[in-house]
Structure 1
Amino acid sequence: MSDSDARPAHANVPEDVDLDRVWTGIATGLWRRDVRWPERTIGRLLRSPGLARALLTTPSLLVPWLLASTVVLGAGTVATAASGRPLVSLVAPAVAAAGIAYAYGPGIDPAWELSCSAAVGVRMVLLVRAFGVLAVDTVFGLAGSAASGATVGVTFGWLIPMTAVSALALATATVTRSALVGTVAGSAAWAGTVLYARTAEGRLAAVVTDSSLVVPYLVVTASCTAIVLFTTRMPKGSS
């Protein structure tokens, strides 16, 4: 092997060339992402570019997840129109619970480590994402209910139970640090509620039209929200 082969690859580089700076510039160009108008608009509304970036990187707000939610609720809309049963009202809370659970989760969220080190805080990022997912699923559900010709009571009756089931899924996900466990817990709780209402009232729509269930739904929502806020609190001694 010749002496030229044994020398380092940068041995022939002129002394006035800073290779570290060159490679830093290349890496910056590769990893830089242009800020598009939706992110700029959300950043101005939230007054935080970091929150806007976190919101738009939420796993359950990405295009594949939104397409899957649309397909599921679309199938429920068709089935509701054909059978007359409020299937959209029964499916929407489960879809929202899964989406809310996947708004949180180490190993699921590609920006989890970044959100943990951001100045806005994990709790604020999580709450903004949760409200964003809930708002999107609410719009999808209302559109599906309206398209299926559901009655007004059924169309809006599932909003409170959807919030309760979503809060339960989010609380479970934050406590267990697992989006999958949160999804399973929310879906299982909703399925059990539907079966209970079906057995007690003899009809599926009772789970979203029975006024006696409103108070339990609100209690679950408040309790689970408190759990989320407590779990995501800033550790003592942190600034």
Structure 2
Amino acid sequence: MTSDHEVGPDRASARPGPAPRDVDLDRVWVGVAAEVWRRRPGPVERLAGRLLRSPGLARALVTTPSLLLAWVVATAVVLLAGALATLGTGTPYVALVAPAVAAAGIAYAYGPGVDPAWELSCSVAVSDRMVLLVRALTVFGLNAAFGLAASAASGVATAVTLGWLLPMTAVCALALATATVARSANVGVAAGVASWLIAILAGQAATGRISAAVTTSALWLPCLAFAGCCAAIVLYTTRIPKGSS
């Protein structure tokens, strides 16, 4: 073992010193981040770019956590299991599961803490509100399509299908509004799923049927009104402050 006095000039010169004053480390890290995020757009992103007429918005859309392949496959598997359970028992499990699954997906359309491309989506020349609305509508449409396909496969009645589409709209709107106000996707998921479980349990307690939450037509208008209120909260929360462009 050698002491500090025995260290040769070569080893002493190899010790790291303070960074030069003329080096902008922030700029260096911006360059590193740009290199990390740079990749060639795939066919889905190119199609989205043509439809949306914005490459930045298309990149933000395809990096939505709940639109990634693993999440989409998991959603399809859950709804497929619900369809099989419906066929075996006659209980509309697809209608009961779909709103909760959609609420989780739409809450994770909001980025802070869960979206690896959140900083990228904030840097594009598109407002945060537009990014969020495009993501939310796409996630909602995909989940609705999956739910309708699972309902058709399980042979549920058309009235039941309409019965879960409207509550799903309200639950998704609540999840998104909570996520944007709390700035946390996890809080949005908890609010959406918990509210739907409460609705199912309340319907069962009132009528004795677990499917009451998706078969009671008297709830359709309140669900639409509630969804409208939550949408207004989302629009207000994501507004552009005065004085900013």
TM-score interval (norm. to shorter): 0.7 to 0.9
In the alignment, does 2:88 pair up with 1:74? no
Task: Tell me which moved more, 199-208 or 108-117.
Answer: 199-208
Amino acid at match of 1:166: C
Amino acid at match of 1:64: A
CA distance in 2, matches of 1:221, 1:238: 29
Question: Pick from 229, 240, 244: which aligns with 1:234?
Answer: 240
List structure 1 segments (4+ residues) > 2 angstroms apart after TM superposition. 1-8, 24-32
Task: Tell me which moved more, 126-135 or 200-209.
Answer: 200-209
Deviation at residue 204 of structure 1 after TM alignment: 2.4
In the alignment, does 2:159 pair up with 1:159? no
In the alignment, does 2:54 pair up with 1:48? yes
| TM-score of the two chains, using structure 1 as the length reference | 0.87
CA RMSD of aligned residues (A): 2.3
CA distance in 1, matches of 2:36, 2:236: 39
Give structure 1 stretches of 5+ with no counterpart. 9-23
The alignment of Structure 1 onto Structure 2 pairs a total of residues equal to 225
In the alignment, does 2:197 pair up with 1:191? yes
User: Paired residue for 2:101?
Assistant: 95
Task: Tell me which moved more, 167-176 or 189-198.
Answer: 189-198
Question: Pick from 109, 114, 124: which aligns with 2:120?
Answer: 114
Secondary structure, aligned partner of 2:125: coil
Question: Pick from 40, 63, 81: which aligns with 1:57?
Answer: 63
After superposition, the C-alpha distances for 1:198-226 in whole angstroms (9 at most, x for unaligned) are 12222223212211101210111001000
CA distance in 1, matches of 2:83, 2:157: 13
User: Paired residue for 1:132?
Assistant: 138
Amino acid at match of 1:185: A
CA distance in 2, matches of 1:45, 1:135: 16
Deviation at residue 28 of structure 1 after TM alignment: 6.9
Deviation at residue 38 of structure 1 after TM alignment: 1.3
| TM-score of the two chains, using structure 2 as the length reference | 0.85
Distance 1:206 1:29, change over 3 A: closer
Distance 1:187 1:25, change over 3 A: closer
